[in-house]
């Protein structure tokens, strides 16, 4: 049985003071015995602070993005080796807010995915469709293309022991969320697409992202192919995030 995972994506929300309050609350609320992998992804400047508070807790931490280069004259970029120095063990790649705002291609996202894997960290690959694409009935075709780019560049086995986050673009930062049935259908499609590699099929975790909250988490996580959640806004509230984490204990 796959162990569920809940990832908090803080996005560009934080300050030293609010982080301290949130991190202290999380360490008090989340027990070491919880049978769920829990991760928070703060903005880059707060990785050191996050590490200092969480290093003796059951909560791991990661980054919201990474450079596709190992080092060099790339102003403003942050490499996987830099992230590892701050104890980061997960990296979100391909989030729709980044791919849209910064015109990241599927090829660039695939390269970042490989860089994270090569560094011994766990990539959280975001895939998903727009509302127009869903209404046109081509959501599976869109997601399949996103996955195919990585498969063609690096092979299906690169998905071993990784996380894929299905995040319908129309549900990101809105009050909309995919129904449990819609999420299950896409998660099942993704798992079946990658099922030819038995090792990958067993180790791959597929989580749902898009307006996950304490009210809908249990229903979403009860679906057989939903292995947890990528949580945005609700991860900034310790009580809400705790509730979502406990919903994943099923």
Tokens 């190992």 label which residue? Answer: 70
Out of 97, 104, 129, 167, which one is annotated catalytic?
167
- Which residues are CB-neighbours of 143 under 8 A, at least 6 positions away? 127, 128, 129, 166, 186, 189, 190
Q: Are 90 and 104 in contact (CB under 8 A)?
A: no
Give CA–CA dist 171/126, Å, rounded: 13
Out of 95, 104, 129, 246, which one is annotated catalytic?
95
167 labelled catalytic: yes
Tokens 């509302």 label which residue? Answer: 131
Q: Are 149 and 106 in contact (CB under 8 A)?
A: yes
Q: What is residue 129's DSSP assignment?
A: -
Torsion over CA: 180, 148, 36, 210 (sign): negative
Question: Which residues are designated catalytic?
Answer: 95, 167
């Amino acid at each position: 049985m796959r162990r569920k995972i809940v990832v908090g994506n803080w996005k560009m929300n934080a300050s030293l003071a609010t982080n301290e309050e949130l991190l202290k609350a999380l360490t008090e609320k989340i027990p070491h015995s919880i049978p769920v992998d829990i991760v928070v992804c703060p903005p880059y400047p707060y990785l050191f602070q996050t590490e200092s508070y969480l290093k003796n807790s059951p909560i791991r931490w990661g980054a919201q993005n990474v450079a596709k280069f190992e080092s060099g004259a790339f102003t403003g970029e942050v490499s996987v080796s830099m992230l590892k120095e701050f104890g980061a063990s997960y990296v979100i790649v391909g989030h729709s807010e980044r791919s849209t705002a910064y015109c990241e291609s599927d090829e660039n996202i695939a390269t970042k995915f490989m860089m994270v894997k090569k560094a011994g960290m766990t990539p959280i690959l975001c895939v998903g469709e727009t509302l127009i694409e869903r209404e046109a009935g081509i959501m599976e075709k869109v997601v399949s293309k996103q996955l195919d780019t990585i498969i063609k560049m690096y092979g299906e086995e690169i998905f071993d022991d990784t996380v894929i986050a299905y995040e319908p673009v129309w549900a990101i930062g809105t009050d909309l969320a995919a129904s449990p049935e819609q999420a299950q259908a896409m998660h099942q499609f993704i798992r079946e697409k990658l099922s030819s590699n038995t090792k990958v099929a067993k180790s791959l975790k597929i989580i749902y992202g898009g307006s996950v909250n304490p009210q809908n988490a249990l229903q979403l996580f009860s679906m057989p192919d939903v292995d947890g959640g990528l949580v945005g806004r609700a991860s900034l509230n310790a009580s809400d995030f705790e509730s979502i984490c406990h919903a994943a204990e099923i």
